[in-house]
Chains A and B, each alone.
Chain A
Amino acid sequence: MQAIRDPRTRFSLLAPPLIQMLIFTFAATLDVKNVPIGILNRDNGQAGFELVQRFRGAPTFSRIYYLQSVEEITPFIDHQKGVMVVSLDQQFSRNLEAHKPAIVQLILDGRKSNTAQILGGYATSIIKKFNDDFSAQHDIKQQNVNLVTYNWFNPNLLYYWYNIPSLVVTLSMLTCLVVTTNSVARERELGTFDQLLVSPLSPVEIVTGKIIPGVIIGFFEGLLLMAVGVFIFQVPFVGSFFLFSFSILIFICSMAGMGLFISSLSATQQQAMLGTFVVMVPSVLLSGFATPIENMPIWLQPASYLVPLTYMLQISKGIFLKNIPASVVLNNVWPLFLITVVNLVGASLFFRRRLQ
């Protein structure tokens, strides 16, 4: 209640997450756009020209530098002026006229191997399309098998459709943690906490009472961020709103419980904050927020099961983009229940200990 009454605190609780959501959504993207590349066309023929045109026309390759000689390739990549160089040799058109294979060299900067691989994939599909068209035009027999690719749930692979469901839950988690740990630590330092402990309230009641502000604030913030995501950023929301709200409520309870547990172990506000940091950073990294859990080594993957955020991320992305059924949601919610209970019990034990 104290937290909500203070307008300054209210502002500092709402503004940073909204700002962070804005910045993170646009900045924290593994999308590949506007990445400069170089093209070296030593071919003088029609075919080479046409292939280069196709690269020019591709929206992904919006920044192209035209290199003049082979010697320019090394400094171009070395100085990271571009991530990829597409190189056509002098024989390109001539080979094609003679129906001999013509190879397009792609040179990629391994220092940015993720981006490079994705760009390499785009380039290869442009080249393949060119090959198919050329062969069709010149009546050359090609294998008549084709790979048709598309993506479900996010057909254009818009990165922010992935980011925003994740950010909604992560940012509300952070706020909830901050509110909970602050409230306890502040009360402790002010001394009003001990008064609470000696009051006729049982530790369970105190613990439950303490998490309520964090839960309410976190929950409403989660819903607010979700609304921002859906209405302002136009992220689709195809699942059940009820399931989402239910899950996020349990999730926030588990985070508040964790915050309370950390506070019960800390003596000062400073320690509580440090503790929160120490818990938060690995949690976010291991939860699959930025990089998928399946990329982690097998022995480390179980660690992610201890992090509530892992489950909530799956639920959030699933409900936003996939309309996952209740069974999948509940499968991810029961661990959250468990974590909440464990944390609250732990917190009340530690508080009782401190009293003695």
Chain B
Amino acid sequence: MLQNSGIRRLKALIVKESFQIIRDPSTILISVVLPFFLLFLYGYGVSLDLNHLRIGLVLEDTSPEATSFAYSLYNSRYFDVKTYRHEHSLIYDLERNAIRGFVVVPSYFTQFRHRPDLIAPIQVIGDGSEPNTANFVQNYVRGAFDNWLQQEAVSKDLKGLPLVSAASRYWYNEELESRNFLLPGSLGIIMTLIGTLLTALVVSREWERGTMEALISTSIQRSELIIGKLVPYFILGMISMALCFLVTVFGFQVPFRGSILLLTLVSAVFLFCALGLGFMISTLARSQIVSYQISVVTGFLPAYILSGFLFEIYSMPWPIQLLTYIMPARYFVQCLQTLFLAGNVWSLIFLNMIPMLLVGLIFFLIAVRKTVKWLD
């Protein structure tokens, strides 16, 4: 008898919540408009791929050899090369960020080349004010240089091919498109924001309006209250995730090599976590504005920086690395990047789900205890 009425109350609550959601424009804003907006930004605005790297070239030596090297740079699809005759225009362009680096073939290049006891240098200078780009300038020029050397050796039948060389193979993202790992990662960030905002804003709004107390004063049980409130938002969150997934795969052409079922499972676990965080925030902060601020600071920002989706966790100082272990977004991002690009690496995924479940549980427990306190 008691159980029956419990389920009835639960159903009633869920129905009421669902209606409230449909009527409330801000929930649609958060779960549909906001993620699309963010996806658009992350998909197009954030990229680590350098195409058409603008570099300068100073050819002090105009011999055929130097020119053939210059041509290998011109013809490379990685570079937009601008040749300079005078130092000041080069430096001016470097200062105003028109070029990100330059290559110098010195005047004595060919001379040195023909003397076996000397080494003919080619200089590559990168713009250190953009360290990531500078790294790529050097890598790409080195690549073009190695190719040119090989071609020279073949065409002139020299025996100077390097004895030891490296052969690189990239697994899981052979196209080396940064979008392929940035977008799945940003799905994690977006879901963090949405999950947290949904519950934080919505529940604290009820507290503000006083309708929460009205609810509590009914015969509803504490656990039913929490489950009833969260189920509709959970469904909304999953729909949001599904929409984002479709945009990512079909709109941005990011490959997906895992199983959708596993993705759904992992997303459900993470959403559980994010909703828990939002709920906990809403029980701690009574006003919407405060909830919103806390959500952004403790949900979104840490996820953005510490989840590993853009910034490499290993490169962070170890106290911060420790901090990332308690962030559910870190595990979710790893799962997402793996599921999209590598496929089903079962043990990795399940290993990552455990901390998410744990953290989610902790959030809920705190939220429940806080709600109880307020009841008295």
Contact = CB atoms under 8 A, between A and B. Distances in A.
B160 interface: yes
Nearest to A92: B164
Contacts of A32: 312, 315
Q: How large is the interface on B (under 10, 10 to 19, 20 to 34, 35 or more residues)?
A: 35 or more
B312 A285 contact: no
Contact of B166 (A24, A103, A274, A290): A103
A290 B44 contact: no
Interface stretch (A94-102, A195-203, A254-262, A342-350): A94-102
Contacts of A147: 121-124, 141-142, 145
B138 A29 contact: no
Contacts of B132: 30, 114, 118, 292
Contact of A143 (B50, B158, B296): B158
B314 A35 contact: yes
B210 interface: no
A157 interface: yes
B132 to A, nearest CB: 5
Contacts of B134: 151, 154, 157
Contacts of B42: 285
Given A30-B132, A131-B163, A134-B163, A111 B342 contact: yes
Nearest to A107: B169
A282 B45 contact: yes
Q: How large is the interface on A (under 10, 10 to 19, 20 to 34, 35 or more residues)?
A: 35 or more
Nearest to A35: B314
B154 to A, nearest CB: 12
A97 to B, nearest CB: 11
Interface in A123-179: 123-125, 127-128, 130-131, 134-135, 140-155, 157-159, 161-162
Contact of A286 (B45, B95, B162, B178): B45
Nearest to A127: B166
A302 interface: no
Contacts of A80: 334, 338, 348
B36 interface: no
Given A36-B314, A106-B166, A153 B135 contact: no
B128 A79 contact: no
B354 interface: no
A216 to B, nearest CB: 23
A331 B316 contact: no
Interface stretch (B7-15, B112-120, B278-286): B112-120
A105 B167 contact: yes
Interface string B15-46: 00000000000000000000001100110111
Interface in A40-80: 51, 63, 77-80
Interface stretch (A3-11, A226-234, A245-253, A321-329): A321-329
A120 interface: yes
Residue among A107, A109, A111, A269 with most chain B CB within 10 A: A111
B266 to A, nearest CB: 15
Contacts of B5: none
Contact of B41 (A36, A105, A285): A285
Given A148-B122, A148-B123, A157-B135, A321 B149 contact: no
A5 to B, nearest CB: 22
Contacts of B161: 101
B38 A281 contact: yes
A139 to B, nearest CB: 11
B348 A79 contact: yes
Interface string B138-165: 1101100100010011000011111111
Contacts of B44: 296-297, 300
A121 B142 contact: yes
A157 B42 CA distance: 26
Contacts of A30: 48, 131-132, 310-312, 315
A121 B128 contact: no
B345 interface: yes
Interface string B287-312: 01100110010000000011000111
Interface in B251-278: none
A292 B130 contact: yes
Contacts of A355: none
Interface string A312-332: 001001100110110010010
Contacts of B177: 113
Contacts of A192: none
Contacts of A273: 289, 292-293
Given A104-B166, A141-B160, A109 B45 contact: no
B167 A104 contact: yes
B187 interface: no
Contact of A282 (B41, B164, B315, B317): B41
A302 B338 CA distance: 34
Given A34-B314, A113-B178, A128-B164, 20 more contacts: A35-B312, A77-B171, A79-B348, A102-B163, A103-B165, A111-B172, A111-B337, A118-B132, A130-B164, A141-B116, A143-B160, A145-B149, A146-B120, A149-B142, A157-B131, A270-B289, A273-B292, A281-B41, A290-B310, A295-B48
Per CB-CB distance, the 9 closest pairs between chain A and chain B, nearest first, are A110-B173, A154-B128, A151-B128, A143-B160, A131-B164, A121-B139, A295-B47, A157-B131, A110-B172
